[in-house]
């Protein structure tokens, strides 16, 4: 700690930032470490593991006696030509949704298509209920007092007992929507197995982390035959750290991950994000709906637009943060893990977490500006999403992930009671099992035809409406 304070004082006197993280020579090239230049002078470390697979032979080729294999390629073509032709086999789900934003800040979501319901780990196939009714009204929703009836009626005189009639319901003034979004598409959702060469898993860490925090997941799924890709964000792990703050804004980092995704993407890609990394997974799923097959969000928070906090300790000068780095690391250990024993300290050290330059940490926290990532942006997603939350998480409250599950079209929320913010490091076996079941999950369409007639008759009387209060000020 004395060394950190001394270096911080020298940093203040000289006006120079502390030493930044630079790319390192990979000492284990056999483990799939690569250095990718996403832009001139901007180099990211990526761990890319491609399992050895047996040649795949189709039924037609077997019947004709001709054996032809699929060819895998890592060309930067968005993964559109490196897999077998035709859509993957799976269940076709009708995604139909109407999203309306009103001027009073109210958000109304009408699910007019299929709604998925499933219990991961309890059944292999999920149930699909077309046009099922869901009504949600948050506790903080109230009728605004600023918009009363234009001509309030005087109090009525009660009639005689013989002429008494029930009072009609109060009439509400019609609201004018500020914005309306219509979604009407079909999505094929299939089981993703490690033996399928058109499946790739992308792991994205958050602020202060590195690809090493996914060590258990990378080893587990690569052994199952999955192709896995995990990058270090700029300034993290062994990636290069540019000396300007603009290099760490949300949009700059999102473009880095876009380049990584386009380089390694297959036909069916699954994105797994943690904390801040969840926002980048949402961005990619929104930008590439045909390539992103499923998404996993681990302690990612609510579906609100990102905006840096002006009253944060990370707004202090970099030299001050350098002096406080031991305290920050201890605070992260206490808040990020449910327990703070020797095992957790070792996990933190092995995962190379929260081991970034103070300048990078400050620039990352100040650059979290993403106004497009609001509730409507998340409600537009049609990809199935698994939400994993550690019950003891002190960074992300439970109600934020619950709100995310309400906003998303196809979302499954799973809570791990013994886990905290770094749940994938604390409970690797539980997380790996949850993720694997979700990868193999596929909707069960067998009940669709049997309940189709019932849903058509009930559709005229049951509105599928979710009324949600937007937690931000809407311009009137």
Distances in Å between the Cα of 279 and the Cα atoms of 153, 199, 367, 470 are 49, 22, 13, 19
Distance in angstroms (rounded) separating the CA atoms of residues 345 and 329: 10
CB atoms within 10 A of CB 178: 15
Distance in angstroms (rounded) separating the CA atoms of residues 295 and 165: 55
455 close to 449: Cβ distance less than 8 angstroms: no
388 close to 296: Cβ distance less than 8 angstroms: yes
Burial class (CB in 10 A: 0-12, 13-18, 19+), 25: exposed
Alpha carbons within 13 angstroms on the beta-carbon side of residue 376 total 19
Distance in angstroms (rounded) separating the CA atoms of residues 250 and 232: 15
Q: How do 91-102 and 177-189 pair as beta strands?
A: antiparallel
For residue 47, give the 3-state DSSP assignment. Answer: strand
Burial class (CB in 10 A: 0-12, 13-18, 19+), 146: exposed
Active site residues: 275, 393, 421
CB atoms within 10 A of CB 12: 15
């Amino acid at each position: 700690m004395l060394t950190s304070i001394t270096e911080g004082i020298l940093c203040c006197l000289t006006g120079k930032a502390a030493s930044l993280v630079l790319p390192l020579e990979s000492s284990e090239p056999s483990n799939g470490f690569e250095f990718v230049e996403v832009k001139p002078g901007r180099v990211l470390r990526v761990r890319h593991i491609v399992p050895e697979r047996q040649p795949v032979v189709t039924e037609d080729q077997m019947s004709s006696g001709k054996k032809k294999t699929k060819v895998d390629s890592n060309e930067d073509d968005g993964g559109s030509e490196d897999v077998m032709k035709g859509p993957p086999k799976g269940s076709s789900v009708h995604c139909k949704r109407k999203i309306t934003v009103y001027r009073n800040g109210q958000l109304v979501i009408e699910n007019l298509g299929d709604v998925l319901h499933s219990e991961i780990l309890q059944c292999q196939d999920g149930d699909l209920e077309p046009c099922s009714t869901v009504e949600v009204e948050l506790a903080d929703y109230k009728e605004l007092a600023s918009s009363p009836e234009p001509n309030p009626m005087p109090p009525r005189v009660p009639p005689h007992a013989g002429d008494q009639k029930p009072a009609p319901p109060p009439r509400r003034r019609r609201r004018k929507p500020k914005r309306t979004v219509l979604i009407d598409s079909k999505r094929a959702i299939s089981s993703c197995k490690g033996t399928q060469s058109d499946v790739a898993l992308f792991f994205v860490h958050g602020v202060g982390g590195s690809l090493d925090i996914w060590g258990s997941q990378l080893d587990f799924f690569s052994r199952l035959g999955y192709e896995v890709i995990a990058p270090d964000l700029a300034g993290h792990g062994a990636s290069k750290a540019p000396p300007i703050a603009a290099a760490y804004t949300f949009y700059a980092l999102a473009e880095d991950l876009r380049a990584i995704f386009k380089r390694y993407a297959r036909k069916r890609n699954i994105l797994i994000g943690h904390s801040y990394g969840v926002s980048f997974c949402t961005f990619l799923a929104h930008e590439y709906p045909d390539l992103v097959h499923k998404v996993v969000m681990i302690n990612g928070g609510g579906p609100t637009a990102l905006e840096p906090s002006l009253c944060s300790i990370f707004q202090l000068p970099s030299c001050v943060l350098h002096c406080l780095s031991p305290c920050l690391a201890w605070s992260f250990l206490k808040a990020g893990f449910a327990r703070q024993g020797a095992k957790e300290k070792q996990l933190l050290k092995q995962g190379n977490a929260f081991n970034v330059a103070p300048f990078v940490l400050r620039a990352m926290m100040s650059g979290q500006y993403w106004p497009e990532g609001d509730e409507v942006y998340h409600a537009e997603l049609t990809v199935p999403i698994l939400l994993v939350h550690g019950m003891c998480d002190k960074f992300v409250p439970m109600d934020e992930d619950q709100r995310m599950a309400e906003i998303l079209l196809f979302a499954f929320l799973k809570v791990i009671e013994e886990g905290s913010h770094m749940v994938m490091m604390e409970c690797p076996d539980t997380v790996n099992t949850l993720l694997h079941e979700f990868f193999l999950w596929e909707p069960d369409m067998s009940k669709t035809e049997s309940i189709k007639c019932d849903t058509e008759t009930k559709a005229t009387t049951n509105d599928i409406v979710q009324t949600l209060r937007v937690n931000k000020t809407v311009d009137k």
